[in-house]
Amino acid sequence: MASMLMCFLIFFGATLAAGFSDTQPKPVPGLSYTFYKSTCPELEWIIRTYLKKEFKKDIGLAAGLLRLHFHDCFVQGCDASVLLDGSASGPSEQDAPPNLTLRPAAFKAINDLRALIDKMCGVVVSCADVVAVAARDSVALTGGPHYKVPLGRRDGLTFATVNVTLADLPPPTSNVSFLINTLNKINLTVADLVTLSGGHTIGLAHCTSFTNRLYPTQDTNMDKTFAKNLKLTCPAANTTNSTVNDIRTPNTFDNKYYVNLVNKEGLFTSDQGLFSDFRTKALVALFASNKILFFEHFALSMVKMGQISVLTGSQGEIRTNCSARNSGSGLWSVVEDLLEQLLEFPCRPQSCTHWIPIHQVKSSSSSNLEHALHLSRFG
């Protein structure tokens, strides 16, 4: 039986590896690997330099930024809506229970990066792109793969309701069938599920996320020694303590998460279930024995996830403050004020370089807004 399983794993691994190439995944329309080549060529250097410094002070920030990207993309796409504060229209995504444990330091880091990037390049980079690159660097700087990130996302104008956020973020008590169905709704596969779950190789977990496996009785799918040690940290079901996700290498991005699952040392029901379900077990075992293959898959799945329902082109906006929508209706409010001031003065035909009725400008795409600034010149 063991030899049959080994043969299957070798075949399965070869099949997966055959799907890889040295080329990057093709970006969705509107995104590009060179999007800021002319407008902000220093972007990735700015983000990496800042994070290197911050991780020396708090390595836990890496997991916080990676989780922030996940929670953003799973709810109405990768549009930085998770960064928006609540408003008179209602509570924000941050107020939904799954997001209450997002690290405040991660939000601060994005705002700090926003300020640094704006100082170097102007307001040309979206908050959604900052989150995506910061997540990639959080992986790479803790030992994981460095992969290219397609850029060009725009920031969303609205945040999801608490109920929508709850529906889109599967809880740690989820079984594999529920996880598969949830990810299928956003076009992620079973392989993506197993691969992206590997992000739990860094970071912390709150006791209340897994004490259902300890109390009132211990989950039989959990190693007894592992459970005994967890009870020292989490002496009651409602304790507010936390522990590391990965007991082997908690601050290193590697494949030890899968080794934990093979040894029944996964924390969440949603984690350990991956090694119990026939649809996911083989890939868990393969990643546990092959870090390089896991890294290759993780890079591809992260790029795929990072392009879920992205806003591009004239959609959304580029926020000047990542936690709040731009005042008025985005960039148009600034342009409209200027145009109305210009139109208060008579324009002599011989001194006007061009004329477009204001109602036509309002109906045009944002790509015409810069042109609209130069509608009239006065002699």
Active-site residue flag, 71: yes
**Among 318, 314, 317, residue whose Cα is nearest residue 364:** 314
Rounded to whole angstroms, what are the CA distances from 218 to 31, 211, 255?
A: 47, 9, 26
Binding residue per annotation — 170? yes
Binding residue per annotation — 64? no
Report yes or no: 233 and 243 within 8 Å, Cβ to Cβ: yes
**Among 107, 159, 85, residue whose Cα is nearest residue 168:** 159
Binding residue per annotation — 75? yes
Check 69, 71, 146, 354 and give the catalytic one.
71
Binding residue per annotation — 155? no
The DSSP secondary-structure symbol of 210 reads T
Binding residue per annotation — 254? yes
Binding residue per annotation — 146? no
Retrieve residue 252's tokens.
């290193």
**Among 24, 1, 12, residue whose Cα is nearest residue 299:** 24
DSSP-derived secondary structure for 354-373: ----HHHHHTS-GGGHHHHT
Alpha-carbon span 249 to 329, nearest angstrom: 47
DSSP-derived secondary structure for 225-268: HHHHHHHHH--STT---EEES-SSSTTS-SSHHHHHHHTT--SS
Report yes or no: 40 and 321 within 8 Å, Cβ to Cβ: no
Binding residue per annotation — 42? no
Rounded to whole angstroms, what are the CA distances from 189 to 135, 197, 325, 346?
A: 21, 12, 33, 61
Binding residue per annotation — 201? yes
Alpha-carbon span 335 to 230, nearest angstrom: 58
| Maximum Cα interatomic distance, the chain, rounded to a whole number of Å | 90
Q: Which residues contact 334 (CB under 8 A, 6 or more apart)?
A: 328
Binding residue per annotation — 85? no
The total of other beta-carbon atoms located within 10 Å of residue 270's CB is 22
* Enzyme catalytic residues: 71
**Residues of each annotated binding site:** 72, 75, 77, 79, 81, 93, 170, 200-201, 246, 249, 254
**Residues of each annotated binding site for heme b:** 200
**Residues of each annotated binding site for substrate:** 170
**Residues of each annotated binding site for Ca(2+):** 72, 75, 77, 79, 81, 93, 201, 246, 249, 254
